[in-house]
Amino acid sequence: MTTDTRLNLLWLQSGGCGGCTLSLLNAEQPHLYAHLEQSGIRLLWHPSLSAASGGAVRQLLADCVEGRQQLDILCVEGSLLTGPNGSGRFHMLSGTGRPMIEWVRQLAARARHVLAVGSCAAFGGITAAGGNPSGAVGLQYDGDQLGGLLGQGFRSASGLPVINIAGCPTHPGWVLDTLLALALQRFDAADLDPLNRPRFYADHLVHHGCPRNEFYEFKASAEKPSDQGCMMEHMGCKGTQAHADCNTRLWNGAGSCLRGGYACVSCTEPHFEEPGHPFAETPKIAGIPIGLPSDMPKAWFVALAALSKSATPKRVRENAVADHTVITPAVKKTGLKG
């Protein structure tokens, strides 16, 4: 007789677009199901990927809540809708007559680990933008404030708070690497940053590995969407402030927002959905961008920018405002000896 030692994972989708699941399906080497199998994780149910529905799912959820079915990992995608007036009735779990937030509270109380997959589940995200009539919040955060649906003091059975795998959408590697670390029992509180995001990706900046770094160094800036230059000064890019490894851990092994010509909107951060200005514009005071690189005093940035711009090579200056390479690097003897 063999004992099944696999971890049971239940995935719920709440107030969101499902984009984190779509991103997860792009996992490669191995693909999603192979990765779960190799990690010793059994997917109990996912609303978009599982065949079970109706009464079978309601019974599964009841079994998890009542302890008849072991629940090791609860993943929630999408914000939690508390409206109207805290009742949660804007999002009823079909066929149960009960709001989704009630199910999430009860399942979280049973789960060994609770994961917020995406910035909506972590902080409220896009669903909380505007007047937030649906009362959208994250699992344990409401924007950048602790609380959310489960409350500041919530801890899962493992002793950990909600693990916020923030991103819009999340990179499949962020989700799968977190699951693997949990399966291997190699993840604890020290692996979480101050916003309870996994440090293995949140201790990086999107700026790291950016293909436009040469333009950034010389402050050679793009002036329109098709330009190759740095997008920080005029185009709203927040890659020097955003916590993620997007340009060193690429989507499908090749892509990132910046590689696609789009400025970083800092989607792993609370309140990214309402920056207070158009996403593709950089707000400034006296010509100086408000959002300066992390850890850099304003006076230093002004001095560095003035010096960098005065030293910008013609090649970098002209390529920055073109949609293709106009001037290639010069070929000359370097003086290096083998």
Confidence band for 59, pLDDT divided at 50, 70 and 90: very high
The verdict on 88 and 183 lying in the same domain is yes
Tens digits of residue pLDDT in 225-256: 999 999 999 999 999 999 999 999 998 888 89
- Is position 96 within any domain? yes
- Is position 94 within any domain? yes
Q: Domains in the chain: how many in total?
A: 2
- Is position 333 within any domain? no
In which domain, by residue range, is 226 found? Answer: 204-325
Q: How far is CA 310 from CA 15, 216, 239, 292, in A?
A: 49, 13, 23, 20
CB contact at 8 A, 150 and 140:
yes
Per mean pLDDT, which range of 37-51, 228-242, 301-315 is the poorest? 301-315
DSSP 61-105: HHHHHHTSS---EEEEESBEE--STT--TTSEETTTTEEHHHHHH
Rounded to the nearest 10 degrees, how much is the dihedral formed by the CA atoms of 16, 35, 154, 116?
A: -20
How far apart are the C-alpha atoms of 84 and 19, rounded to whole Å? 25
Q: Which of 202, 230, 247 is the last residue of a domain?
A: 202
Characterise 65 by phi-psi region: left (phi > 0), alpha (psi -120 to 50), beta (else): alpha
Residues facing residue 85 across a β-bridge:
none
How far apart are the C-alpha atoms of 166 and 159, rounded to whole Å? 20
The verdict on 165 and 42 lying in the same domain is yes
Q: CATH code at 310?
A: 4.10.480.10
The verdict on 184 and 222 lying in the same domain is no
The verdict on 141 and 218 lying in the same domain is no
- Is position 332 within any domain? no
Q: Quick one: which of 62, 57, 175 has its CA closest to 116? A: 175
Tens digits of residue pLDDT in 68-79: 999 999 999 999
- The label of the residue with tokens 């709440």 reads 14
> How many other CB atoms are found less than 10 A from the CB of residue 51?
6
- Is position 227 within any domain? yes
Per mean pLDDT, which range of 98-107, 250-259, 289-298 is the poorest? 289-298
The verdict on 214 and 317 lying in the same domain is yes
Q: Which of 202, 227, 250 is the last residue of a domain?
A: 202
Q: CATH code at 92?
A: 3.40.50.700
Structure tokens, 156? 């899962």
- Is position 74 within any domain? yes
Peptide bond into 161 cis (omega under 30): no
Q: Which of 154, 187, 202 is the last residue of a domain?
A: 202
The verdict on 180 and 217 lying in the same domain is no
